[in-house]
Each structure stands twice: as C-alpha cells, then as structure tokens.
C-alpha cells in the first residue's frame, strides 16, 4: 500500500485493474471484504469502503446473501475512464521530465515509436 | 452506531504530574482504534481509567453506559492486556489459560490452544521463567481468545520478534473479521499497525491532540522538497506543519495538498513525497521539543 492515498481508494483501484486486465471477468464474484482485508492486511472496514466505492459507481453490484459481482459492461466503462485520465497521469509527467532533460518533442516522438516497435 | 466508551473532561493527576488532562472522546462499537503517543504521553493511564483501575481526578467516563469503577457488569466485557501483566507466583502458562474463562464469558479455549501452538508457547513453563517475548505472547493469546467486546492491548508486542508480531496482527484481523468487537491498540510502532486501524487517537502530554478517521489522516499531509527558494515560494500561502533545510535544499510538510496543488508543486520542480501516519504523528508530537 502507498502512503499518500487513502487505502480504500487503492483497494478500489486494484479491483478496477483486475477487471480491466480480465482477472475478474464480468458477472463473476469478487472476493469478500474480509478476504481483501486478510490478503492486504488492512482493516475490514477500510476494505469495505473500497468495495462500496465501486458499488456506488455501478462497477460492482450486490447479490443479496451471496456477495459482490462485477457488473456487465464494467470493463468497457473502466477502460474509457482510464483513457480519459491517461493524459494527466502519464503524458504530463513525461513531458515535464523531457523538458527538464532538454529532450525535444521530436526526439520524444522518435523514442515513443522505437518503444512501440520493439 | 453504538458508543462503547464516552469520556468527558477525563483528568488524572499524580501529584504534580498531569498524566491525563481534560480528555473528551468517544469509542464506537466494533472498530479498531489506535491509541498512539510517545512514551509517558498518558496512554496507559488513560486505559487504566477506562477499565476502572484508576480513579479519575476530574471528569467522567462511561463504558457500555456505566462507570467502569468496581462495576462487574462492565469489567466482564472488558479485557485489558497490560505491557507488564503480573501473574500469581509459581503460575505456569497452562494455569493462566485455565483461569481465563473465570474472567471472560466469551473465552474460546480451542482458539487459545491453536494460538499457543502458533506462538510455540511452552504450556508447562512457569510464567517467571518465560522470556520477555513469550510473556508478551501469553498476553496476546489471552487478549485474543477472551473475545471481550472491548479489548485493550497496551504495547502487546514487547520482545516479540517480527514473525510473532506479524502473526499477532494476522490473527487479530482474522478473528476480528469473524467476531467483530471493539479493539484499542496502544503502540508506538505506528507503521506496523497503521493499516489495521480504522480510527486514531493521539495523546501527547496527557491531552488528546488528534481524534480522526485513519483514512482522513493518511491523506492529510504531503512533503514537498527542492531548492529552498522554490520550496519557500510554494509554501508561502500554505499551512506548513514542519520545515527542514540543509544548505540550499529544503523540505516542507504541508497540511493537505489537493490535485491542483500537487500539479503546481510538480510544475515548480518540487519533489512530492507522501507522509506516513507515523511521520505525521512524529511531527505533531515533537513540536514542543523544538520550541524549547
């Protein structure tokens, strides 16, 4: 766990990652709050807060008496959301670092192309 | 939400020593609390007041709605595992475990036996022959297996090695998940337990100085570092909790930094590092020293 963000946000993000990567397919059950708590060694209430964050946004839904499930269409929605944040989270720091090192935009573009064709 | 402990202006003086001063707070049911503070801050005295082992100089406290002092109804639902627990002379480990159900209605002997095995505790050994770590393990086992609705652990890990401490944290979490109850962990190993806590009470010099949700506290401070001039320019109109400098470099801990603040700091070429719960508390409780 990172120190700089609330743990429940990190839990939510990890579940999101697992949905995006396909580890948790749609309409399958996610681990229980207590299982998350034991695995990450965190307070169960905190784990519950992370799960509820995803219930509130409709990524997970509750089957009464059974547990939490991944909603249909959750993967596409999460991917769209992440694409939206891509610039802020990755491109901006990249440009800042390039500027600091005096790497021009053209050089950067070449580097990116090399990176993708490798 | 049910309140388990309610303290109002709770105060305890020992002669001229003000061990606990005007403490007002609540402890809610089925949460894990961290009671954090430096040595001598008043943690143990506060817990002694909450368990009726000390008389308050002023103020009042209610546990399960009643005063805990000489109140069997309250005390049978309370476990207080002290750092220096005393046992009768010549008691062996098995005697401690055998007498525990006299005091704790929810005592689970099977759970205790499984913990004895996990902590590799010699049942037949006399308590006074145990190592410091083994003595702590006895306390941990009694505290967990008693399943008291309100359980206090006062620095329960003294002498326990890293493996045994992790075992304690894991067993605590697992058993708490299955049998929710109110737990108060007093500790100064804050980093080790910070993820287990739902709520944090920080006591310094007898006063409660932080009473906050652990998650709120976690996001509440950030450190920025860089050249002194850029740090100072950035922190000019912000609340600075702590500042350090060496030569032309400086780092400042700020109260709360939102997304736009973080971006501004990054644009100013400053390094942003998170502040752990432990660092935050160290900074909140050492201010007095620097002023002197």
Residue in chain A closest to B198 (alpha carbons) equals A43
CA distances to A25, B256, B278 from B193, in Å: 33, 22, 10
Residues of A in contact with B269 (CB under 8 A): 100
Instruction: Count interface pairs A-B at CB distance under 8 A.
Output: 61
pLDDT surpassing 50 at residue B290: no
CA distances to B26, B87, B151, B176 from B182, in Å: 12, 25, 6, 9
Q: What digits encode the pLDDT tens for the residues B66-120?
A: 999 999 889 989 999 988 788 888 899 999 999 999 989 899 999 999 999 999 9
CATH number of B219-291: 3.30.70
- Smallest CA–CA separation between A100 and chain B, in Å? 9
Query: How confident is the model over B51-63, as a mean pLDDT?
Result: 94
3-state secondary structure of B14: strand
Q: What digits encode the pLDDT tens for the residues A24-68?
A: 999 999 999 999 999 999 999 999 999 999 999 999 999 998 999
CATH number of A7-73: 1.10.10.10
3-state secondary structure of B289: helix
pLDDT surpassing 70 at residue A117: no
Task: Tell me the domain boundaries of chain B.
Answer: 3-213, 219-291
- Smallest CA–CA separation between A65 and chain B, in Å? 16
Q: What tokens were used for B151? A: 């359980």
3-state secondary structure of B77: coil
Residues of B in contact with A94 (CB under 8 A): none
Residue in chain B closest to A2 (alpha carbons) equals B274
pTM of the predicted structure, to 2 decimals: 0.83
CA distances to A98, B108, B166 from A104, in Å: 7, 68, 50
User: Which CATH number does the domain B3-213 belong to among 2.30.40.10, 3.40.50.880, 3.40.50.300, 3.40.50.2300?
Assistant: 3.40.50.300
Give residue B44's Cα distance to chain centre.
10
Task: Tell me the domain boundaries of chain A.
Answer: 7-73, 75-117
Which residues have a Cβ under 8 Å from the Cβ of B98 and sit 6 or more positions away? none
Q: Per the CB < 8 Å rule, is A43 touching B177?
A: no
Q: Are strands B249-255 and B221-227 parallel, antiparallel or unpaired?
A: antiparallel
Which residues have a Cβ under 8 Å from the Cβ of A55 and sit 6 or more positions away? A61, A62, A68
Residue in chain B closest to A37 (alpha carbons) equals B173
**DSSP secondary structure of B156-225:** TTTT--HHHHHHHHHHHHHHHHHS--EEEEEES-HHHHGGG-SEEEEEETTEEEEEEEHHHHHTTEEEEE
């Amino acid at each position: 766990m990172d120190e700089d963000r609330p743990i429940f946000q990190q839990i939510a993000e990890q579940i999101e990652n697992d949905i995006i990567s396909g580890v948790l397919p749609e309409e399958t059950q996610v681990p229980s709050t207590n299982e998350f708590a034991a695995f990450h060694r965190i307070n169960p209430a905190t784990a519950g807060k992370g799960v509820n964050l995803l219930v509130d946004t409709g990524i997970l839904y509750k089957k009464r008496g059974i547990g939490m499930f991944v909603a249909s269409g959750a993967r596409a929605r999460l991917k769209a959301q992440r694409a939206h944040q891509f610039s802020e989270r990755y491109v901006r720091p990249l440009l800042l670092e390039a500027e600091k090192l005096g790497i021009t935009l053209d050089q950067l573009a070449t580097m990116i192309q090399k990176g993708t064709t490798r | 939400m049910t309140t388990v402990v309610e303290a109002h202006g709770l105060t305890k003086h020992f002669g001229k020593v003000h061990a606990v001063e005007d403490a007002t707070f609540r402890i809610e049911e089925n949460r894990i609390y961290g009671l954090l503070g430096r040595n001598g801050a008043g943690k143990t005295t506060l817990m002694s007041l909450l368990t009726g082992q000390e008389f308050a100089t002023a103020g009042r406290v209610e546990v399960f709605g009643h005063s805990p002092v000489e109140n069997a109804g309250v005390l049978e639902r309370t476990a207080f595992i002290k750092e220096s627990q005393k046992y009768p002379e010549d008691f062996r480990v098995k005697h401690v475990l055998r007498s525990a159900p006299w005091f704790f209605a929810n005592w689970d002997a099977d759970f205790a036996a499984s913990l004895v095995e996990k902590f590799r505790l010699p049942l037949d050994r006399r308590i006074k022959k145990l190592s410091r770590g083994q003595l702590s393990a006895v306390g941990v086992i009694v505290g967990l297996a008693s399943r008291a609705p309100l359980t206090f652990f006062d620095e329960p890990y003294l002498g326990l090695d890293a493996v045994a401490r992790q075992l304690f944290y894991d067993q605590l979490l697992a058993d708490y998940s299955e049998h929710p109850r109110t737990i108060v962990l007093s500790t100064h190993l804050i980093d080790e337990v910070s993820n287990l806590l739902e709520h944090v009470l920080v006591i310094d010099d007898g006063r409660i100085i932080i009473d906050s949700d652990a998650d709120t506290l976690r996001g509440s401070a950030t450190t920025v570092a860089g050249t002194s001039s850029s740090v100072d320019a950035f922190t000019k109109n912000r609340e600075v909790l702590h500042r350090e400098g060496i030569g032309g470099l400086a780092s400042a801990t700020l109260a709360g930094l939102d997304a736009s603040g973080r971006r501004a700091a990054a644009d100013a070429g400053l390094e942003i590092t998170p502040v752990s719960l432990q660092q935050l508390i160290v900074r909140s409780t050492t201010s007095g020293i620097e002023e002197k």
